[in-house]
Chains A and B, each alone.
Chain A
Amino acid sequence: MKDIFTYGITLMLICALAAAALAFTYEKTQKVIELNEAREKEKALKEILSSAKRFVKLENNITPKDPLVNIQEVYIGYDDGEKVGSIWEVSTKGYSSEIKLLVGVDKNNKILEVRVMSQEETPGLGAEVTKEGFLKQFLGKNEPNLEVKRNINPVTGATISSRAVVRAINEVLNHTNFEGGG
Chain B
Amino acid sequence: MKEFWQNFVNAIFKENPILILMLGLCSVLAVSTSVQNSLGMGLAFSFVMIFSNILVSLLRPITPYNIRIPIFIIAIGMFTTIIDLVMSAYFTELHKSLGIFIPLIVVNCMIIGRAEAFAYKNSVLNSLADGLGMSVGYLWVIVTLGMLREFLGSGTILGIPILPGIFKPTLAFIMPPGAFWGIGFLIALLNWAGNKFRR
**Residue positions of A touching B, CB distance < 8 A:** 3, 6-7, 10-11, 13-15, 18, 21-22, 25-26, 29-30, 32-33, 36, 40, 118, 120, 123-124
Contact = CB atoms under 8 A, between A and B. Distances in A.
Given A22-B78, A25-B82, A33-B89, A124 B67 contact: no
6 contacts: A6-B64, A10-B63, A14-B71, A25-B81, A29-B88, A33-B85
B175 A18 contact: no
A95 to B, nearest CB: 15
Contact of B85 (A29, A40, A118): A29
B86 A123 contact: no
Nearest to B88: A33
A21 B74 CA distance: 12
B92 interface: yes
Given A21-B82, A22-B82, A29-B88, A10 B75 contact: no
B20 interface: no
B174 interface: yes
B182 to A, nearest CB: 16
**Which of A6, A13, A14, A118 lies at the interface centre, i.e. has the most chain B CB atoms within 10 A of its CB?**
A14
B62 interface: yes
Contact of B174 (A15, A32, A123): A123
B82 to A, nearest CB: 5
A10 B82 contact: no
Interface string B50-94: 000000000100111011001100110110011001101110100
A11 B67 contact: yes
Contacts of A13: 62
Contacts of A11: 67, 70-71, 74
Task: Please classify how large the interface on chain B is, using the bins under 10, 10 to 19, 20 to 34, 35 or more.
Answer: 20 to 34
Nearest to B78: A18
Contacts, number: 57
A21 B64 contact: no
A3 B64 CA distance: 9
Contact of A18 (B74, B89, B96, B174): B74
B98 to A, nearest CB: 13
A18 B80 CA distance: 11
A34 B43 CA distance: 24
Nearest to A26: B85
B67 A7 contact: yes
Nearest to A125: B171
A110 B65 CA distance: 67
A117 to B, nearest CB: 10
Interface pairs A-B: 10 shortest CB-CB? A29-B89, A32-B89, A18-B78, A29-B85, A124-B171, A33-B89, A25-B82, A7-B67, A36-B92, A18-B74
Contacts of A118: 96
Contacts of B70: 11
Nearest to A39: B92
Contacts of A36: 89, 92
A59 to B, nearest CB: 28
Contacts of B62: 10, 13
Contact of B77 (A10, A18, A29): A18
Contacts of B175: 123-124
A92 B40 CA distance: 30
